[in-house]
């Protein structure tokens, strides 16, 4: 298993992160491609809510899941501070059973941290769309160790076992972005 992020929640809103993973790029390049219903989104491994905030602007309800209590508390405080009321925070290190349709699941910098990423990918089929953002498998002076990262091709192969379409977006310098779906009419793949 890779390591879990052990830093402080506020590090997830740092200026460095905003520079290397700007949320407006995620909004423009990922969210804009999702067609159809935007009822429920899940941010799995949400941390303190960096991408949760963006999802909350585009989906009626967002469930932010994290395994660390300090992250869940920081997320709740951050959403309250920003006046965001359509986010529910869930403390869990396991997939959550929802009894309603899920339109979008985001895994951002989390699949390299779990023992069985395939279990989460398989679970994520409950959603119409899934987006994986994770560290490119290249040496950097920050982020997880190289041997803890899952390369883009390995992740693509894993996703292709469970989804009919996997689209790669080259939008971040240190992270790959893969969007998946099983809906014939769901993803706008044009640039």
Q: Is residue 189 part of a domain?
A: no
How many independent structural domains does the chain possess? 1
Ramachandran region, residue 60 (left: φ > 0; alpha: ψ -120 to 50; beta: rest): alpha
What confidence score (pLDDT) does residue 20 get? 86
- Answer whether residue 187 is part of any domain: no
CATH code, domain carrying 132: 3.40.50.150
pLDDT in tens, 68-104: 999 999 999 999 999 999 999 999 999 999 999 999 9
Residue 25 in domain: yes
Write down the pTM of the prediction.
Answer: 0.90
- 40 found inside a domain: yes
Residue 129 has pLDDT above 70, yes or no: yes
Query: Which single residue is written with the structure tokens 């309250």?
Result: 80
For position 7, what pLDDT does the model report? Answer: 55
Q: Would 16 be classed as within a structural domain?
A: yes
Q: Residue 24 belongs to what domain range?
A: 9-181
Query: Which helix or strand (DSSP H or E) is residue 133 part of?
Result: strand 127-135
Residue 69 φ/ψ, nearest 5 degrees: -60, -40
**Residue 82 to residue 103: CA distance in whole angstroms:** 24
Asked, for residue 190, whether it belongs to a domain, the answer is: no
Q: For residues 33-53, give the mean pLDDT.
A: 93
- The answer on pLDDT for 35 being more than 90 is no
Candidates 147, 187, 191; CA nearest to 31 is: 187
Report pLDDT for 18: 73
Q: What pairs with residue 149 in β-bridges?
A: none
- Taking the CB of residue 45, how many other CB atoms lie within 10 A of it? 23
Residue 1 covered by a domain = no
Say which range, 14-28, 62-76, 82-96, 100-114, has the weakest mean pLDDT. Answer: 14-28
| Section 115-142 average pLDDT | 94
Q: Is residue 186 part of a domain?
A: no
């Amino acid at each position: 298993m890779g390591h879990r992020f052990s830093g402080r929640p506020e590090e997830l809103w740092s200026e460095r992160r905003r520079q290397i993973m700007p949320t407006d790029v995620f909004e423009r390049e990922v969210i804009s491609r999702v067609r159809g219903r935007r009822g429920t989104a899940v941010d799995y491994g949400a941390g303190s809510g960096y991408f949760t905030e963006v999802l909350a602007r585009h989906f009626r309800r967002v469930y932010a899941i994290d395994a660390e209590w300090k992250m869940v508390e920081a997320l709740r405080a951050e959403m309250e501070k920003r006046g965001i009321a359509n986010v529910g925070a869930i403390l869990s290190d396991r997939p959550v059973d929802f009894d309603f349709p899920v339109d979008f699941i985001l895994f951002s910098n989390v699949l390299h941290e779990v023992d069985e990423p395939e279990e989460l990918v398989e679970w994520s089929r409950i959603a119409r769309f899934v987006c994986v953002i994770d560290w490119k498998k290249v040496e950097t002076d920050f982020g997880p160790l190289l041997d803890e990262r899952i390369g883009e091709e390995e992740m693509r192969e894993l996703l292709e076992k469970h989804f009919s379409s996997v689209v790669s977006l080259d939008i971040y310098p240190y992270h790959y972005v893969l969007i998946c779906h099983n809906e014939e009419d769901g993803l706008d793949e044009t640039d």
